[in-house]
Structure 1
Amino acid sequence: MRVLVVHNRYASAQPSGENNVVDQEVALLREGGYRVGLFERRSDDIAARSLAGKAALPLLVPWNPAVRRELAARLRAERPDVVHVHNVFPLLSPAVLAACADAGVPAVATLHNYTQVCPPGTLQRDGRPCAECVGGSPLPAVRHGCYRGSRLATVPLAVSLSANRRRWWTGVARFLCISAAQREVLVRSGMPRERLAVKHNFVPDPDARRTGRGEHLLYLGRLAETKGVRLLMAAWDKVAAGGGVGVPLVIAGTGPLEREVTAWAAGRDDVRYVGLYDPDQCRTAIAAAVAVVAPSTWLEAFGLVVVEAMAAGVPVVAAGHGAFVELVEEGVTGLLHRPGDPASLAAGLRRISADPTRNREMGEAARRRYEQDFSPAVGLERLVDEYRTAINGGT
């Protein structure tokens, strides 16, 4: 089987779980003996564009004719069996689907977020869940400036959603949702149920596994409102006011709330802000954790850090909504707190730390769940099955 992977790589200044997923799937396919090519653009390259090139970029977000021509020519020359589309914003555009149709190659698309029904893809506005555009016009997103707080910046995304909705829905043989929770949102929006499959992301088996009780509670991710960082700080203040839990909170990552987190952590011996970890440091930190904390306020479509914790035999404390409710079995592989509630999160942090024996049992159960549903072997089998379905016309 020959596969061509299409992806617009996110800027390297911020860690991207989506970039990691794409890289890991490509490596997994190649290790499995499949021939995999890449058709990529990099958001890092935008900085090198001329002023005119940067000014023209919003016009290419809904449709990039040069990409259509280039990809169609490559497909005709290489004749892959299937094209796997990931992110197309901002340099590729949905023109990649027209190229697949031009060359007669079936397309599979992984939906890493909610951009099919929400211009910024978050289903959130002003720190709260929002579905105002789902199943209807994206004009509310423009009115509220949902992408980067800017109406102007939101317009290209809204135009692309409106202009290309039918092209997406008819031009993709199989949509791969990364959770059942995500699939249900998309089905309710009107997307074709029969072409929406659930294929969870897989996580490589880590070199590091937890062997002791753990040395810290760990938040690992982007320092942003949607990830629940402010909620975590408020919850930890409640934990500290009650005497703490015997281990510090380690926060690793960077993002728009970095200064706020740095100031909050300064001078405290119960909090360590460590900045951005590289992949090896991430694995080591997870394996040394009493638990990993995932307090997102938006409806996560998956939750890679949760599965990374499971792979290391570490339980999690996660928000009880979105994909987390299918990843975390309450009281078995971790704990779920009431979304947006600092008192509930604080209670979960105390509970996960209070009983080392129960914590160890949850970690062991988390590892078993990883082996059953999120290992590379499982990921490869499910991915190739979906490719075969697409090649056979969706049946």
Structure 2
Amino acid sequence: MHVLVVHNRYASAQPSGENKVVDQEAELLRAAGHRVEVFERRSDDIGAMSLPAKAALPLLVPWNPAVRKELAARLRADRPDVVHVHNVFPLLSPAVLAACADAGVPAVATLHNYTQVCPPGTLQRDGRPCTECVGATPLPAVRHGCYRGSRAATVPLAVSLSVNRRRWWSGVERFLCISAAQRDVLVRAGMPPGRLAVKHNFVPEPGVRREGPGEHLLYLGRLAEAKGVRLLMAAWDELAAAGGVGVPLVIAGTGPLEQEVTAWAAGRDDVRYGGLYDARECRSAVARSVAVVAPSTWMEAFGLVVVEAMAAGVPTVAAGHGAFVELVGDGETGLLHRPGDSASLASCLRRITADPARNQEMGRAGRLRYEKGFSPEVGLERLLDEYRAAIAGRSGGGEVPPPVGEQGTGPRRDTPPRAGWGQ
């Protein structure tokens, strides 16, 4: 099969699970004998742009005509079987879909977040779940400056969502949701359910698994509010005040809260901040963990670090909402805490470290779950199935949904998160 991958790479200065997924899928396909090429832009290149080009960039976020022309010419010249679209912000734009239509090549799109229904893609505002724009116009996002705390920065995303809604829904043969939780939100927003398939991300064999009880608890990811970093610090302080849990907390990653984390960890024996780890260091750190901690306050669409822990035979403590509810078997492969509740998180961290035998049972159960649902073999089979469905035109998507204003407004902002988490 001949596949063209379309992706706007996120900045290399901060870890990107999405970049990792794109690269791993391309490598998986090539290893299986398929021809994979890439049409990409890099956010790293923005820094080298001239001032006029930078000033014009927001105007191209909703629609970049030069990208449409360039991609259409390439598709006509090389005729791939399918185009696989990932991120198009900020340098590609949904014009890539018009290029696919121009050349008559079917498009598949992986939805890594919620940008189809929420301008910043997080379904969160002011540290709380928010679905005010889901199924409605994105004006609330502009009013609140939901992207980077800026109304001006949010406008291009809101405009793109509004003017390109129909193009996405009619121009993509198969949408690949990375969790059932994500698909549920998108269906409620009015996206065509027949085109929304659930295809979990896979994780390569790590090459190393946990031996023994583990040495530390591990947070591995972006140091940002939405990832629950402040929540984790508060829970750890509660545990430390009560005598600790007998193992240190290791935090690895970088992001906007790096200085705050560095200052918090300084001079402590029970916390170690390791900075940004490379791939080998990440695999080693996970395999030496008592548990991996994923306390996100936003409803994660997937949770790559959870599956990486499973692959290494390590349990997870995660927030009980979003995709984590389907990834983590509460009491079986890990523990779920009440989202945003530091006391609940502290309790789960205490429980996961208190019983080494039960902890190792959870790790073994997680490894079996990985082999059955998240291994490269499973990932390849499901990916190729979706490509074949798109090529054959078997989407079953039905009619394009009516414009906003002729459909329901979707869930309210105060829609409660899913229940089912542990104490």
TM > 0.5 fold call: yes
Structure 1, residues 68-89: CA drift from partner, whole Å, max 9, x if none?
0000000001110100000000
What corresponds to 2:274 in structure 1?
274
- Partner-residue secondary structure (3-state), 1:339: coil
Structure 1, residues 36-95: CA drift from partner, whole Å, max 9, x if none?
110000001111111000001000000000000000000001110100000000000000
What corresponds to 1:231 in structure 2?
231
The answer as to whether partners of 1:174 and 1:394 remain within 8 angstroms in 2 is no
What corresponds to 1:61 in structure 2?
61
1:129-208 superposed matches below 5 A: 129-208=129-208
Gaps of 5+ in 1: none
1:96-115 superposed matches below 5 A: 96-115=96-115
What corresponds to 2:389 in structure 1?
389
Do structure 1's residue 218 and structure 2's residue 218 form an aligned pair?
yes
Q: Distance in 2 between matches of 1:223 and 1:64?
A: 32
Structure 1, residues 146-193: CA drift from partner, whole Å, max 9, x if none?
001000000000000000000000000000000000000000000000
What corresponds to 2:330 in structure 1?
330
What corresponds to 1:343 in structure 2?
343
The alignment covers a number of residue pairs equal to: 395
- Partner-residue secondary structure (3-state), 1:96: helix
Q: What amino acid is the match of 1:375?
A: S
Q: Distance in 2 between matches of 1:62 and 1:257?
A: 30
1:75-90 superposed matches below 5 A: 75-90=75-90
Q: Distance in 1 between matches of 2:274 and 2:105?
A: 46
Q: Which moved more, 1:378-387 or 1:271-280?
A: 271-280
What corresponds to 1:94 in structure 2?
94
What corresponds to 1:74 in structure 2?
74
The answer as to whether partners of 1:226 and 1:297 remain within 8 angstroms in 2 is yes
- Deviation of 1:271 after TM superposition, in Å, equals 0.6
Do structure 1's residue 248 and structure 2's residue 253 form an aligned pair?
no
What corresponds to 1:18 in structure 2?
18
Q: Distance in 2 between matches of 1:184 and 1:356?
A: 36
Q: Distance in 2 between matches of 1:231 and 1:108?
A: 37
- Partner-residue secondary structure (3-state), 2:238: helix
- Partner-residue secondary structure (3-state), 1:147: coil
Structure 1, residues 101-142: CA drift from partner, whole Å, max 9, x if none?
000000000000000000000000011100010001011100
What corresponds to 1:8 in structure 2?
8
Q: Distance in 2 between matches of 1:374 and 1:297?
A: 24
- Partner-residue secondary structure (3-state), 2:93: coil
Aligned CA RMSD, in angstroms, stands at 0.5
The answer as to whether partners of 1:10 and 1:43 remain within 8 angstroms in 2 is yes
The answer as to whether partners of 1:232 and 1:342 remain within 8 angstroms in 2 is yes
- Partner-residue secondary structure (3-state), 2:164: helix
Q: What amino acid is the match of 2:240?
A: A
What corresponds to 2:353 in structure 1?
353
What corresponds to 1:258 in structure 2?
258
- Deviation of 1:290 after TM superposition, in Å, equals 0.1
Q: Distance in 1 between matches of 2:252 and 2:211?
A: 21
Q: What amino acid is the match of 2:269?
A: D
Q: Distance in 1 between matches of 2:74 and 2:296?
A: 40
Q: Distance in 2 between matches of 1:46 and 1:253?
A: 23
Q: What amino acid is the match of 2:387?
A: Y
The answer as to whether partners of 1:195 and 1:394 remain within 8 angstroms in 2 is no
The answer as to whether partners of 1:7 and 1:86 remain within 8 angstroms in 2 is yes
- Partner-residue secondary structure (3-state), 2:219: strand
Do structure 1's residue 314 and structure 2's residue 314 form an aligned pair?
yes
Q: Distance in 2 between matches of 1:142 and 1:110?
A: 25
- Deviation of 1:255 after TM superposition, in Å, equals 0.8
1:275-290 superposed matches below 5 A: 275-290=275-290
Structure 1, residues 347-394: CA drift from partner, whole Å, max 9, x if none?
000000001100000000000000000000000000000000000002
Gaps of 5+ in 2: 396-423
What corresponds to 1:35 in structure 2?
35
- Partner-residue secondary structure (3-state), 1:183: helix
Q: Distance in 2 between matches of 1:15 and 1:362?
A: 28
TM-score by length of 1: 0.99
Q: Distance in 2 between matches of 1:204 and 1:25?
A: 10
- Deviation of 1:342 after TM superposition, in Å, equals 0.4
Q: Distance in 2 between matches of 1:135 and 1:234?
A: 35
Q: What amino acid is the match of 1:386?
A: E
Structure 1, residues 190-239: CA drift from partner, whole Å, max 9, x if none?
00000000000000000111011100000001111000001001100111
The answer as to whether partners of 1:286 and 1:309 remain within 8 angstroms in 2 is yes
Q: Distance in 2 between matches of 1:310 and 1:244?
A: 25
- Partner-residue secondary structure (3-state), 2:244: coil
Q: What amino acid is the match of 2:24?
A: Q
- Deviation of 1:259 after TM superposition, in Å, equals 1.1
TM-score by length of 2: 0.93
> Post-superposition, which runs of at least 4 consecutive aligned residues in structure 1 deviate over 3 A?
none
- Partner-residue secondary structure (3-state), 2:157: helix
Q: What amino acid is the match of 2:227?
A: K
The answer as to whether partners of 1:287 and 1:313 remain within 8 angstroms in 2 is yes
Q: Distance in 1 between matches of 2:163 and 2:79?
A: 28
Q: Distance in 1 between matches of 2:90 and 2:181?
A: 26
Q: Distance in 1 between matches of 2:327 and 2:250?
A: 23
The answer as to whether partners of 1:210 and 1:288 remain within 8 angstroms in 2 is yes
Q: Distance in 2 between matches of 1:81 and 1:221?
A: 35
Q: What amino acid is the match of 2:204?
A: P
1:368-379 superposed matches below 5 A: 368-379=368-379
- Partner-residue secondary structure (3-state), 1:247: coil
